[in-house]
Amino acid sequence: MLTILQLPVLNDNYIYLLHDPDSGESAVVDPAVAQPVLAVLEQNNWQLTMILNTHHHSDHVGGNLELKQKTGCTVIAAQVDQNRIPGIDSFVADGDLITLGKYSAKVISTPGHTSGHVVYHFANENALFCGDTLFVMGCGRLFEGTAEQMWQSFQKLKALPLSTRIYCAHEYTQINGRFALTIEPDNQQLKQRMVLINQLRDKHLPTVPSTLQQELATNPFFREDSLDVQENLKMKGSQPVAVFAEIRRLKDSF
């Protein structure tokens, strides 16, 4: 089995360390910082093979150069971001496959948060590393893209298997859930989920990973086609993308 370790760093970031015990290869997704990654590698006597970046923001690439220098790993990121990913060695684009030992991940381009944002889908492991595109009950801010682009990106993620585990890059769940309740105050699954989320956060435990199935039921950015949502926003019969854009606009000022 592919080992997946979750490292909480900075205020609310998650770094993911992936390890294939058979080949001995390891990858790290979005190393915001290097030291905690180096410490885990050393504890486990793992060799870092590659860095997988989802996008160019410093809280996702801050550890790239130090990790590359200390481990000799390869930095993999989107081709369109080649001039702004520190240490980039290997370029990927939508549909490419990357391999870690006997495991492989498909690259899915998800513009919206940034123009070059990609996510990594390990289909056989049911694991999606989605950076700042999709959060538990939320969605990344539109820094370099339109709501239409982000909506298109969400449609790609919506098509993945329901059991896909959602490994996002930030612990934003509690605030996202509070916002979700303003969009859908009568969503019973959302209300039940928030009780569990609040219990986890009271104990400082992570709420990530989630599953796509949970997100489809509770994440307002996956629910723009729900009649309840459209009614609550007084947008009955509107195009789903327009509803999505309105939810994104409301979240910006929440």
Which residues are annotated as catalytic?
A: 55, 57, 59-60, 113, 132, 170
Q: What part of residues 100-139 is at the interface with Fe ion (CB under 5 A)?
A: 132
- Residues touching Zn ion: how many (CB under 5 A)? 2
Is 25 near Fe ion (CB under 5 A)? Answer: no
Q: Which residues pair with 128 in a beta bridge?
A: 121, 166
The residues near 210 (Cβ < 8 Å, ≥ 6 apart) are 136, 137, 165, 166, 168, 173
Is 132 near Zn ion (CB under 5 A)? Answer: yes
Is 81 near Zn ion (CB under 5 A)? Answer: no
Tell me how far the alpha carbon of residue 238 is from its chain's centroid: 28
Is 117 near Zn ion (CB under 5 A)? Answer: no
Is 59 near Fe ion (CB under 5 A)? Answer: yes
Residues, the chain:
254
Beta strand 118-122 with 103-109 is: antiparallel
Dig out the tokens for 248 from the structure. Answer: 């994104």
60 or 121, CB closer to Zn ion?
60
Residue with tokens 């098509």: 159
59 or 96, CB closer to Fe ion?
59
Is 215 near Fe ion (CB under 5 A)? Answer: no
As measured in angstroms, the least distance from the Cβ of 30 to Fe ion is: 8
Nearest CA to 4 out of 116, 165, 114 is that of 165
Judged by the rule CB under 5 A, the positions of this chain that interact with Fe ion are: 59, 132
